[in-house]
Amino acid sequence: MAGFSLSGRRALVTGANTGIGQAIAIALAEAGADVALAGRSEPAETLAAIAAKGRRTLDIRADLSGTAPLAEVVGQTVAELGGLDILVNNAGIIRRDDLLDFSEEDWDAVLDTNLKSLFFISQAAARHMVAQGSGKIVNIASLLSFQGGIRVPSYAAAKSGVAGVTRAMANELAPRGVQVNAIAPGYIATNNTAALQADETRNRQILERIPAARWGRPEDIAGAAVFLSSPASDYVTGQILAVDGGWLAR
């Protein structure tokens, strides 16, 4: 199982204070990586969990809705952890409203955070990875990379864009030793899906559609992230891996 070890690797995970990002950051540390965490909120619980596993960790406060701090976030990670081998782009937001009422403000906020910033922090990380001849970039996509969803047009557009830019980056970076892939989580019980879980009708409809017959947990995404960050996935690139309890198979 040595191919799944992340011993000696340095990772940067965005949006890791709760939910999927937190589960991924802790799993990377458990596999042996030192992990920098970037986001607006203090990830105290995540930092403590990583430290308890004997790994180095770094708290970088940054507003990832804009591009200005992104190169600095990557630079600080490289400087303080001694390099960067893995980038996990997890930070994201969602806005819900009827299509006919959806505002330009909500459109721009989601596209800026979920797609534009993802690309430019990946670009900054890729410059370092290409120089060293190796690296892994893992983007968090969504089932809405494949589907349209309801009342979330900007989120669907952004996550469809994540799938496309993942493939585009993979095409250019694979010859230079950097693999780029994405994970498309299904319906995972996190803060972003709290409104759906609380809606009795939508919750029932969602569960009826999932062959696994349950909401996913953040930890269900962690194994896929470790795989895509490890040497075991060196011949995997440009893929969108659905971890969805069978939703898309239905």
DSSP string, 86-109: EEEE---------GGG--HHHHHH
Please state, in angstroms and as integers, the Cα–Cα distance from residue 42 to each residue in 17, 18, 57, 170, 203, following that order.
Answer: 7, 10, 13, 32, 30
Residue 115 resides in a domain: yes
Within 8 A by CB and 6+ apart from 101, the residues are: none
Residue 196 resides in a domain: yes
Within 8 A by CB and 6+ apart from 60, the residues are: 36, 37, 38, 39, 73, 76, 77
Could you tell me whether strands 86-89 and 10-14 are parallel, antiparallel, or unpaired per DSSP bridges? parallel
Quick one: pLDDT band at residue 2, thresholds 50, 70, 90?
confident
Q: Which residue intervals of 190-229 are DSSP H helices?
A: 194-198, 200-209, 218-229
Residue 85 resides in a domain: yes
Residue 249 resides in a domain: no
Provide, rounded to the nearest whole percent, the portion of the chain with pLDDT above 90.
97
Nearest to 29 by CA among 42, 240, 45, 40: 45
Look at the chain and report how many structural domains it folds into: 1
Residues 145-155: pLDDT tens digits?
Answer: 999 999 999 99
pLDDT score at 1: 76
Residue 170 resides in a domain: yes
Residue 198 resides in a domain: yes
Q: Which residues are catalytic?
A: 155
Residues 44-58: pLDDT tens digits?
Answer: 999 999 999 999 999
Residue 50 resides in a domain: yes
226 token code pair: 């470790």
pLDDT score at 40: 95
Count of CA atoms in the C-beta half-sphere (13 A) of 232: 15
Query: For the domain that residue 9 is a member of, what is the CATH number?
Result: 3.40.50.720
Residues 161-216: pLDDT tens digits?
Answer: 999 999 999 999 999 999 999 999 999 999 878 988 999 999 999 999 999 999 99
Domain carrying residue 31: 2-243
Quick one: average pLDDT of 75-104? Answer: 97
Residue 114 resides in a domain: yes
Place of tokens 């969504």: 142
